[in-house]
Amino acid sequence: MSRKITLIGAGSVVFAKNLIGDILQFSELSDSTICLMDIDVSRLKVAETLMKRIAQKLGVSAKIEATMNQRKAIKGAKYVICTIQVGGFKPCTVTDFEIPKKFGLRQTIADTVGVGGVFRALRTIPVINSIARDIEEVGHKDCLFLNYTNPMAMNCWAVDRAVGIPHVGLCHSVFSTARMLSKYAGVPYDDVSYLVAGVNHMAFFLQFKYKGQDAYPLLFKALNDPNRHTERVRFEMMRRLGYFVTESSEHQSEYVPHFIPHGDKLIRDFDIPLDEYIRRCEAVIATWERQERELLGGRSGDVEVESQSHEYGSYIIHSIETDTLRTVYGNVPNQHIIDNLMQGCNVEVPCQVDGTGLTPLRIGNLPPQLAAICATQINVQDLTVEAALTGKREHIYHAVMADPNTAATLTLDKIWAMCDELIEAHQKDGYLGEFSPTLAGTGRAFAGIGDRAIATLAAVGEFLAEEGASNPLKLTVENPLKTELKATVTLRPQFDGLTIKGRSRFKILVPAGETYSERIETLNTEDLSEGCTVGLSLSKEEVLCLDAELKPRKVFEADGEGSVGFDMDLHGFEAVKGKLRRTKTHLELDVEVSDSDIVSNLKAPRQGSAVEFFVTKDSRSPITRINFIPQKGSEGLAIQSGDGKAVKAKKVRLEVTRMNYRFQAAIPLGVVGLKAGEDFLFDMIASLNALGDAHSGGKTSLGEALDSKTNSSHFGFFRG
């Protein structure tokens, strides 16, 4: 009984010739309707003429049709074969090589993973999913989708997630590598059996047997053969992993971080052909006209039909149509097939095929090292499919960031810039759709964060607690949206003793991309010694609101010797402890800092290890800053003013251990603008390069602000 077999991407004439020739050489399939579809009218015409001549040469009754209408081609088809390349060699493949190369990233094939594979998937998935949806809607009720288009795993994964029709991805790497290995082992292929599993282009020969015996010793013998000068990358990976991978050395070299990023010598030693796919494409294009003439048979009209190839496509169709049991290797959804790979990802495994269709064989667990290296590819595939299906731009960066070769070659800034340039280039050429924006220079979606205005209510100046005093507030609303923000502002003091002068509820309009600010006056109707919170809310849910905290100064009461103790933590761990003592002539500091990796930076103290001490007579007086910078070796403790000049001090001492440092110093009162017996305001900021033995460094302060240059509102009060 005749069936319709549709080939989408028939303009890939050489592959189409072999594939359709394979199908029509099965007598049971020779009456099929072959429908050819392509978007290139000239190539489609060549393909149609060629297929008709093949049918004539074989003497079969196949019906050959051609159309540029995808839905028409798929209507009623029982098998749809996909061999498309979205964007072609130019401009898209060239772009996928040239832009990364400009950033220092080198590739060989760039069609599976890596940045080239990611962008090929992003422009292919929308097209391949449109094919799948047409199959679901107008194809035969038992239609099987056979995909040959790379990047195989990402395309098939996207079809499964977005549409869910029966499908299989087909690749020649398993059967071609098996034949190659039989030659390296020096045994007849017909006596070889094998078991392969993993992900497309990163599947491994879990078993390689000769007449039922483990033949891996023969491969390891070939590994160490000094006369072997081919497949250097794959044999090296077998040396390290213990198993041979299915796809070529040029592919393998760009899937892992162990070769290309390590320089020209290693590239030469392992014979890695950079830009290899560009060379191949240029060679095919250069010979296209000659191939076209040869395929069409010149004036004679004759065409040569090769004997059936080893491609799986024709065998799958024949097995289903004739209920002939065969085992093929296919790329299918991982539904409890390989247990230690992500469920739902696309895996390459043996499949039994007969009249009931395709049935993947359960593998169980891969050896853990193989599962780990497959996972590095699956991570990229997962993020790329997520980007393609959701339109979230951030996952493009994440996918490329996860690629091993890219990660070993480029900084994060270069990865982001490279992706931005690739997105722009492919969109300009019309082969990539729009993606939702991210916060500039980040991998976080604009949606949910960048599209939220931020409203802040903050105290201005020194907190005043007495009845009748005013504590001014500043309202700031930042609007990053591309549209104006209209909202109602509500201010709610959390204590009855503080009221808002004037309006506590009012409307605002903030233009797109601009910031609104307003000064709010308050009145203390009671003593406010305990402080108060003023709540802020806006009527729009997408606005993040930060309340104002009105807090009294922390008072440090001096003991009988004129000293106060203090401590500061960093990330919840004790970082600084010390004493500040006022004498008739000096301020004496005794400070211990838990910094286990002292790095001195005299020009920029906060970029290393330092303690900054701030002093002022009152909130209206100038602020004096003294920097204490520990130095290793004999340099001792550097004491500087805020402008970097040396400060003379007495009783200077520095002790350094592997876990911390402790310094003592007496600063003349005149240096900090104080007189004997005066109370004063002070703050301290400590910059640590490393906190103890288990934490990175950071900055901490006595007050709540980490910048005390001009604002004394958070300073502590030294009294006594």
Active site residue ranges: 172
Rounded to whole angstroms, how far apart are CA atoms 96 and 254?
14
Q: Tell me which H or E stretch contains 394.
A: helix 394-402
DSSP, residue by residue, 238-273: HHHHSS-BSS-HHHHHHHSSSSGGG-HHHHHHTT--
Rounded to whole angstroms, how far apart are CA atoms 606 and 600?
9
Contact present, 661 and 593 (Cβ < 8 Å): yes
CA distances from 339 to 12, 332, 346, 347, 364 (A): 37, 14, 13, 11, 5
Expressed in angstroms, the distance from the first to the final Cα of the chain is 105
Q: Which residues have a Cβ under 8 Å from the Cβ of 2 and sit 6 or more positions away?
A: 31, 32, 33, 63
Nearest in space to 175 (alpha carbons), one of 192, 162, 163: 192
Residue with tokens 């010694």: 529
Helix, strand and coil in the chain, % to nearest 5: 35, 30, 35
Strand order in the sheet with 485-493: 505-510, 485-493, 532-538, 548-550
Coil, strand or helix at 237: helix
Rounded to whole angstroms, how far apart are CA atoms 181 and 218?
9
DSSP, residue by residue, 555-605: EEE--TTSEEEEEEEETTEEEEEEEEEE-SSEEEEEEEE-BSS----SS-G
DSSP E strands in 117-253: the ranges are: 144-147, 167-169, 192-199, 202-210, 213-214
DSSP state of 446: I
Residue with tokens 């930076």: 601
Residue 145: Cβ within 10 Å count: 26
Rounded to whole angstroms, how far apart are CA atoms 630 and 611?
9
My answer on whether omega of the bond before 261 falls inside 30° of 0, hence cis, is: no
Contact present, 157 and 423 (Cβ < 8 Å): no
Residue with tokens 């993606």: 435
Contact present, 178 and 155 (Cβ < 8 Å): no
Q: Which amino acid is at 557?
A: E
- Dihedral sign for Cα atoms in the order 258, 260, 262, 268: positive
Q: Tell me which H or E stretch contains 328.
A: strand 326-333
DSSP, residue by residue, 481-517: SSS-EEEEEEEEESSTTEEESS-SEEEEEE-TT-EEE
Contact present, 427 and 446 (Cβ < 8 Å): no
